[in-house]
Amino acid sequence: MAKITMREAISQALWEEMERDPKVFILGEEVGLWGGTYAVTKGFFDHFGAERVRDTPIAEAAIVGAAIGAALTGLRPVAELMTINFAFSAMDHIVNEAAKLHYMFAGQMVLPMVIRAVGGGGRQLGATHSQTPDAVFAHFPGLKVVAPGTPADAKGLLKAAIRSNDPVLFIEHATLYQTRGEVPDGELIVPIGKSKIQRLGRDVTLVTYSKMLEVSMKAAEQLAAEGIEVEIVDLRSLRPLDMDPVLESLKKTNRAVIVEEGWKSYGVGAEIASRIYEEAFDFVDAPIKRVAQAEVPLPYNRTLEQMALPNAADVVKAVKEVL
C-alpha cells in the first residue's frame, strides 16, 4: 500500500491501461508534448508515442466527436477536456451522440470511451473556469458519470471506466490533485455505480462526493470532538446512482445532510433528498439539509469565492441543525 497523490493515481490508471491494451489511447488539448495541463499525462508522449497520445486542436466538439467515432470502431479512447467548463462546447456530442447512440440504434453501436474533465472552484479562475456542473451531466440516461474523492477510488474507477463498454464522464477536481491517500498495490478496479461508506458514525448521515468528501471529513473531525459522530457516504458515481448505502445509513441515523460543491437548485442534493423521502420517508426524523455553493457565478476575488463555496463550517452548522 503506497500513499500517492490523486494526480499520480489517475496517471497510474491511464498508464497501466495503456500498457495492458493497445486499443486504449489518449486525445485532447496539450496531453502530449506539454504533458497534460495538470501534468496527468507527463511522460506519456515519450513512452507511448504520438499515435497513442494525440494532441488535438482547441476544438472540444471534435475531440469528443472523434472519440465517439474511434470508439465505434472498437478502440478505447480517453478524451481529455482541459476543464469541464469546456465540455459545454462539446455538449452536443456528449448528450446527443455519446449518451444516445447505443439506445437509438438498438444496441448496434457500442461506445467504450471515457471523457476526463477537470471541474471545481477554489482557484480564483473566475466564473467561466470554476464550475461544478456535475448534476447537469448526470441528468442524461445513456451516460455514466463518475467523480472520485480519493486517490484509490480515482485509480480504480478510471480503470473500470476505461474497461467499460459504455461512455463514461470521469470528473476530476482541480484542487484534489495534490491530495494524498493510500492506494493498494497491484491491480485495482473499483466498480462504477457503487457508493461507499467512508466514515462510520451513528448520529447523522452525510452524503457527498469528490472534493466535498474532503470537506465533509474535516467537518466530521470537528464534530467528533464535540461528541457528534457522522457517517459519510461517498457517492463516487452520480449515474448510475447507488442509493443503498445512503438508505441503510439513513435508517440508522434518521438524519441526513447532503454536501455538494455545485449549486443547490436542481442539484445532486435535490436528487438524493428526494430519493430519501421517496424511499425511506418513515425513517426521516428531521428535515434533510443541503450544503451547496451560493447561487452566484463564482467570483474571482478570493474572499468572495471562498464565501460562495461550501466549507467545513457550513457542514458543521447543517449537521447541528438536523440534530
Partner 1 sequence: MDKQTGLKLYHEMVLIRRTEEKAAELYQQGKIGGFLHLYIGQEAVSTGLISARLPQDRVITAYRDHGVAINCGLPAKEILAEMLGKVTGVSRGKGGSMHLADVSKNFWGGHAIVGAHLPLAAGLALGDLYQKQDGVTICMFGDGATNIGYFHEALNLSKVWNLPVLWVCENNQYGMGTAVDRASAVSQIRQKAEGYGMTNSRVDGMNLVAVREAAQKILSEIRNGSGPQLLEITTYRYRGHSMGDPERYRKPEEIHLWQEQDPIGIFRRHLLDNGLAVEAELNAEDDAVEEEIREAVIFAESSPEPQAEELFRDIYVEA
Active site residues: 60, 129
Angle between helix 268-280 and 244-253 (nearest 10): 70
How far does Cα 82 stand from its chain's mean position?
Answer: 15
3-state secondary structure of 104: helix
Residues that bind partner 1 (CB under 8 A): 25, 51, 54, 56-57, 59, 61-62, 64-75, 77, 92-93, 96-97, 101-110, 141-142, 144, 164-166, 240
Long-range contacts of 47-54 (CB under 8 A, 24+ apart): 47/15, 48/18, 51/25, 52/18, 52/22, 52/24, 52/25, 52/26, 53/25, 53/26, 54/25, 54/26, 54/27, 54/28
Tell me the backbone φ, ψ of residue 99, rounded to 5 degrees: -80, -10
Q: How far is the CB of 103 from partner 1 (least distance, A)?
A: 5
* Dist CA 308 CA 323 (whole Å): 25
Q: How far is the CB of 298 from partner 1 (least distance, A)?
A: 27
Residue with Cβ nearer partner 1 (64 or 232): 64
Residue with Cβ nearer partner 1 (32 or 181): 32
* Dist CA 11 CA 5 (whole Å): 10
Q: How far is the CB of 236 from partner 1 (least distance, A)?
A: 16
Q: Which three cell numbers mark 256?
A: 441526513
Q: How far is the CB of 181 from partner 1 (least distance, A)?
A: 27
Residue with Cβ nearer partner 1 (83 or 164): 164
Q: Which three cell numbers mark 287?
A: 428535515
Q: How far is the CB of 95 from partner 1 (least distance, A)?
A: 10
Question: Among 155, 218, 162, which Cα is nearest to 22's?
Answer: 162
* Dist CA 186 CA 2 (whole Å): 10
How far does Cα 214 stand from its chain's mean position?
Answer: 13
